[in-house]
Amino acid sequence: MSDAAGIDAALRAIARALRQICLLQETGRNEEAAQLEPVLLDPLIQSFRDSHGADSLSEERLQSLRACERERAGDAAALGELLAPLLLEQLRRPLDSLRSPPAAFPLRPASIVSPSPTTAPEIADLLDGMLAQENDRSARRPRHRP
Amino acid sequence: MTTAPAEKPFVTTAAPAATPPITRKSDRKVILAGFDLGTNKSCILAGPAGTNDMAVSKIVPTVIGYVKEGIVDGIIAGNATILYGEDALKNFLHVNLVAPLHNGVIVHPDAARDFLRHIRSLVDAGATADLRVAVGVPANTEEADRETIRGCAAGIFDRLLLIPEPFLAALGYRDDSRLNQPNYVDPVTNSLFIDIGGGTSDLCLIQGYFPSRDDQVCIPFAGDAIDGLIHEDINRSYPGNGLSRQTVREIKEAHSYAGPIRKPTDVKVIIGGKPRMLELGETIGRACNTLIDRIYPALTTLIVRASSDSVVQLLQNIIITGGGSQVRGIDTVLQKRLEDDGYESPKVRLAGQDYKRYVALGAFKAARAARENQWQHVLD
């Protein structure tokens, strides 16, 4: 890969990392975003500066990249809110004609998270269900005075 | 050679792990791990947070060897005072072997802590990372036993999530690349998993939500119990044979089967230095069929819990994993019993050759997906 192509590729990787972080911040997942900075973004920046010189990526330029990705993430989140229901509607129509009716799921107590039977359950949501059950059991356990 | 679940170690535990250098919490890299803490074998999968790397993938026998007093220098590599896993088993003549778990629960907390320290060292040699571990536990583990695990992990793992093993097996077995295919049945959406380990056999009904206690059954009868039955029978039929429990386990692993008795099944063993052929067809068959007799009622109990709209598909997705899935014919025998009892087109299948890793793999997926506020701190 030529020097210019290598620099481009490295800058794109930094921009992607910034995009991921800004998207997390935009959707309120600030702790996850804070976690990603040192493990994903910082190593990429350090590697770029090590390869192309300490002045090759100024703080000003980095802030400008961050502002650009923040705006992009904001636009994407707003667009997502508008498009998601429309896309879901459109995707459901052809799939419904191929698939037999989804199985109904047994009734469970309200404390148990029960995701939609037409989508693969998210692991984090399932864990929420597990933690809710643990909290229920803990609340019902008799407390012993010391 | 046998492990000694009732013995205390004769040698004091090793020097405590080196104190890690002081670093700010925010500076520490985060490592995520999935850990199947098995009675006989444990599996650890780990990688840095924020990446798709699985930097560590190891299966470690769950056994500690405390080196006996008076062992000559140089006999044990590095003159270590504690050995772990395979090293402990290989040096069984020079160590006191301790199995920290029995029937899936920790019975020797000190040994368990030593074992967890060893696991930590495999994942984070420098002991500087923020190590977050999702740990598989038997279905419906009692709160006291969960507290024991937390207590043993305190100061060793930084954050913890305890998750039932059969559920993790389903998560590990799930092929994430096929989730969008219309004909793919996600095992987490509608299946019944049977995880047969060394200490416990765990069954779990999984239908798109986290299973409740009523959706899970834990039977304290599994691989170790089968070894026990075979050993008793051999001692009755061939008194004075002197075979160790480990040898019996190896016989079981080579010759186990379920279903009609297969005779003759001749097994070569060494007794008093001389080769002998023992006919063990009925002994092995009876022991393995006892497992089927214990599992089958739990299986039908869980099938009955499923709604009538979901049960037909559920019956097509009964999956056996864990070491017990290697009992030849176990899937066929269970399926036939269901058919004979009138269940609609049951299909029982084996998880496949990766059965040793599915629980840990599911735990690793859970660790990667867990939100920050779902991780539990481990209090000293």
Judged by CB atoms closer than 8 Å, whether chains meet at A106 and B307 is answered as yes
Same domain, A79 and A117: no
Same domain, A80 and A22: yes
Can you list the domains of chain B with their CATH numbers?
29-170+358-377 (3.30.420.40), 179-221+294-355 (3.30.420.40), 223-286 (3.30.420.40)
Phi, psi of B328 (to 5 degrees): -65, 130
Exposure letters A11-50 (e unless 16+ CB within 10 A, then b):
bebbbebbbbbbbbbbeebeebbebbebbbbeebbeebee
Domain count, chain A: 2
Specify burial of residue B37 (Cβ count, 10 A radius: 0-12, 13-18, 19+): buried
Same domain, A123 and A62: no
> What percent of chain A stands above pLDDT 70?
71
| Averaged pLDDT, A20-41 | 82
Task: Among A103, A121, A126, select the one facing B313 at the smallest CB separation.
Answer: A103
Q: Decide if A136 touches B, using CB distance below 8 A.
A: no
Judged by CB atoms closer than 8 Å, whether chains meet at A120 and B186 is answered as yes
**Chain B residues close to A133, C-beta within 8 Å:** 210, 212-213
Kindly provide the ipTM of the predicted complex, given to two decimals: 0.84
pLDDT over 90 (residue A29): no
The distance from CA B24 to its chain's CA centroid, rounded to whole angstroms, is 35
- Sorting pLDDT into bands at 50, 70 and 90, what band is B147? very high
To 5 degrees, how large is the angle CA B46–CA B51–CA B52?
70
Same domain, A71 and A88: yes
Same domain, A37 and A69: yes
pLDDT tens per residue across span B273-308: 999 999 999 999 999 999 999 999 999 999 999 988
The sheet with strand B216-219 has its strands ordered as: B216-219, B201-206, B191-196, B318-321, B348-350
Residue B335 contacts residue B346 (beta carbons within 8 Å) = yes
Which residue is closest to B51 within chain A, CA to CA? A40
Residue A11 belongs to what domain range?
Answer: 3-99
pTM above 0.80, yes or no: no
Judged by CB atoms closer than 8 Å, whether chains meet at B163 and A128 is answered as no
Of A9, A25, A18, A32, whose CA–CA distance to A68 is shortest?
A: A18
**Chain B residues close to A126, C-beta within 8 Å:** 188, 209-210
Same domain, A93 and A113: no
pLDDT tens per residue across span B241-273: 999 999 999 999 999 999 999 999 999 999 989
Same domain, A40 and A92: yes
Instruction: Find tokens 């910034």 and name the residue.
Output: A18
Tokens representing B79? 């003159």
Same domain, A17 and A87: yes
Strand partners, B321: B195
A55 vs chain B: nearest CA distance in angstroms? 24
pLDDT of residue A94: 52
Judged by CB atoms closer than 8 Å, whether chains meet at A130 and B209 is answered as no
- Sorting pLDDT into bands at 50, 70 and 90, what band is B1? very low
**Chain A residues close to B307, C-beta within 8 Å:** 103-107
Same domain, A121 and A55: no
